[in-house]
């Protein structure tokens, strides 16, 4: 073990009991470590039928049509990893760490190993996950899809992902996070570290589809270099117990751009504590955080923080929430922080119910009230996913249409 690994291990061990600053505290001793011995299939089509059906519900295509690579992690086992396209590498992060000694310069550099018990546990667990590297100058034409699935009751899944988009490369990644039918209680810890090099571009879309008693603790750090672009889309529409996430993007090179789009529905019983933070630490960087959230009875907290540390930056935060019914809670916490004078930073936040005049306007075209409400809700969420690839948008639209939110 090298000196730096030794130090990481020490830091992790010291943080094993450290509670996270936000969100319900989960007692990890009540969960079993995710299984590591599930056999690997050579394609997604060969996975069991129930796994394939589960994939479909979180935007992952078992046929792999329209995808250039796929990885499925079930509990703590990589059960499929395929690649048809060129210009990138896709493998288990553990294998990548063995293959490339330089990867230690990226691993646990964008997320602190001792941030809390979830990061510490994930480090000490020798966790699987996806390592994706887009080669310099390569524009990967179609998305890579990955799925992080919990397959057994009371499982604690630990995941460590690293994405590197080399100079001038571009990459799109779609990740579905979900539980197999029958799994009610579990905890998912997912550490993700993304690096976008000079002139590179990464679009990352995550669809969450958990179960009623699942705790979700993603920890994500993103570093974007000069002229690079990072787009993050996060979608959660289904039941869950508790999600607490606060990804941080650091725009460290001149002209780098960061976008966070969030679409969230807090069902009854759910607590969604969702944040997005962008630190604009180089001149002429730009950031935008857009969130659309609905509560149908649960609690949703939308945190957004933009930090301006360099001149000539532009940053905007837009946070809108709807309250459907009488029981939910919707909290918007937009924050702007400027540390130099030459910045342009703005935010808008609003919470409320669906405007009656909009419902009546649509009804006056012959649609029943529930159909009119459905159209408005779909439209409201649509804004949050406007930059999402078309095919994915269709899947999300279908999910919204199937949910109780939008009859008709």
Partner 1 sequence: MLEIKNLTVQVGERRVLNDVSMSVPSGATCVLFGPNGSGKSTLLSTIMGLGSYKVVEGQIILDGTDITYMPIHERAQLGIGLMSQRPPNLVGVQLRTMLKVTGHGKVDPAKLAGTLGMERFLERDVNVGFSGGEIKRSELLQLAAQNPCIYLLDEPESGVDLQSIEKVGTMIHELITGGIACAGKREREGKSALIITHTGQILDYIEADRGYVMCDGTMYCSGNPRELLREIRTKGYEECIQCRLVKMN
Residues in the site for partner 1, rule: CB under 8 A? 355, 357-358, 360-369, 371-372, 375-376, 378-383
**49 — phi, psi (to 5°)?**
-60, -40
**116 — phi, psi (to 5°)?**
-165, -175
d(CA 348, CA 179): 35
Which residue lies nearer to partner 1 by CB, 135 or 367? Answer: 367
Which residue lies nearer to partner 1 by CB, 163 or 237? Answer: 237
Shortest distance (Å) from residue 38 CB to partner 1: 41
Which residue lies nearer to partner 1 by CB, 341 or 366? Answer: 366
Which residue lies nearer to partner 1 by CB, 37 or 357? Answer: 357
Which residue lies nearer to partner 1 by CB, 153 or 371? Answer: 371
Shortest distance (Å) from residue 379 CB to partner 1: 3
d(CA 166, CA 4): 24
d(CA 1, CA 58): 38
Secondary structure class of 7 (helix, strand, coil): helix
CA angle 346, 347, 348 (to 5 degrees): 140
Q: What share of the chain is helix, strand, coil (3-state, %, to 5)?
A: 20, 45, 35
Which residue lies nearer to partner 1 by CB, 153 or 382? Answer: 382
Tell me the β-bridge partners of 213.
185
226 alpha carbon, distance to own chain's centre: 23
Which residue lies nearer to partner 1 by CB, 95 or 360? Answer: 360
How is 188-212 classified by DSSP, letter by letter? EEEEEEEEE-TT-EEEEEEEEE--T
Which residue lies nearer to partner 1 by CB, 346 or 361? Answer: 361
- Give the sign of the dihedral formed by CA 385, CA 261, CA 74, CA 181: negative
Find tokens 């930090």 and name the residue.
307
For residue 283, the tally of other CB atoms under 10 A from its CB is: 16
How is 9-70 classified by DSSP, letter by letter? HHHHHHTTTPPPSSSPPP-GGGSEEPPS-PPPBSSGGGS-HHHHHHHHTTT--TT-TT-SEE
The residues, ordered by sequence, that sit 6+ positions from 325 with a Cβ below 8 Å of its Cβ are 295, 296, 297
Which residue lies nearer to partner 1 by CB, 137 or 379? Answer: 379
- Residue 116 has what DSSP assignment? S
Shortest distance (Å) from residue 347 CB to partner 1: 18
CA angle 255, 171, 42 (to 5 degrees): 160
Shortest distance (Å) from residue 355 CB to partner 1: 6
Shortest distance (Å) from residue 357 CB to partner 1: 5
Shortest distance (Å) from residue 263 CB to partner 1: 11
Which residue lies nearer to partner 1 by CB, 249 or 265? Answer: 265
Taking only Cα atoms into account, the Rg of the chain, rounded to an integer number of angstroms, comes to: 21
Shortest distance (Å) from residue 369 CB to partner 1: 7
């Amino acid at each position: 073990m090298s000196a730096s690994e030794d130090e990481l291990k020490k830091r992790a061990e010291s943080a094993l009991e450290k509670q996270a600053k936000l969100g319900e505290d989960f007692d990890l001793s009540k969960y079993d470590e995710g299984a590591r011995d599930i056999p690997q299939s050579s394609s997604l089509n060969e996975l069991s039928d129930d796994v394939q059906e589960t994939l479909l519900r979180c935007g992952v295509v078992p046929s792999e049509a329209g995808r250039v690579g796929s990885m499925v992690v079930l509990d703590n086992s990589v059960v499929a990893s395929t690649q048809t396209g060129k210009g990138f590498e896709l493998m288990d992060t553990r294998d990548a760490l063995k293959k490339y000694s330089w990867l230690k310069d990226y691993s646990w550099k964008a997320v602190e190993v001792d941030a809390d018990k979830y990061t510490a546990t994930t480090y000490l667990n020798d966790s699987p996950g996806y390592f994706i590297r887009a080669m310099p100058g390569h524009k990967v034409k179609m998305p890579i899809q990955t799925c992080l699935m919990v397959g057994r009751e009371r499982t604690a899944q630990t995941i460590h992902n690293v994405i590197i988009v080399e100079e001038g490369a571009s990459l799109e990644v779609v990740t579905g996070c979900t539980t197999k039918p029958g799994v009610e209680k579990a905890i998912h810890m997912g550490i993700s570290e993304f690096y976008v090099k000079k002139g590179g571009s990464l679009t990352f879309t995550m669809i969450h589809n958990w179960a009623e008693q699942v705790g979700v603790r993603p920890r994500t750090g993103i570093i974007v270099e000069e002229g690079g672009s990072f787009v993050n889309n996060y979608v959660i529409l289904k039941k869950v117990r508790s999600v607490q996430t606060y990804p941080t993007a650091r725009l460290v090179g001149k002209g780098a751009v960061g976008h966070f789009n969030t679409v969230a529905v807090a069902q009854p019983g759910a607590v969604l504590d969702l944040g997005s933070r962008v630190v604009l630490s180089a001149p002429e960087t730009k950031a935008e955080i857009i969130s659309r959230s609905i509560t149908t009875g649960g609690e949703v907290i939308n945190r957004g923080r933009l930090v301006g540390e360099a001149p000539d930056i532009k940053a905007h935060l837009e946070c809108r929430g709807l309250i459907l019914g009488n029981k939910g809670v919707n909290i918007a916490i937009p924050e702007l922080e400027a540390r130099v004078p030459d910045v342009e930073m703005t935010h808008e936040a609003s919470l409320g119910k669906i405007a009656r005049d909009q419902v009546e306007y649509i009804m006056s075209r012959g649609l029943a009230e529930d159909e009119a409400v459905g159209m408005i809700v779909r439209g409201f969420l649509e804004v949050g996913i406007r930059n999402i690839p078309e095919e994915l948008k269709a899947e999300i639209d279908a999910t919204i249409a199937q949910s109780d939110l939008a009859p008709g």
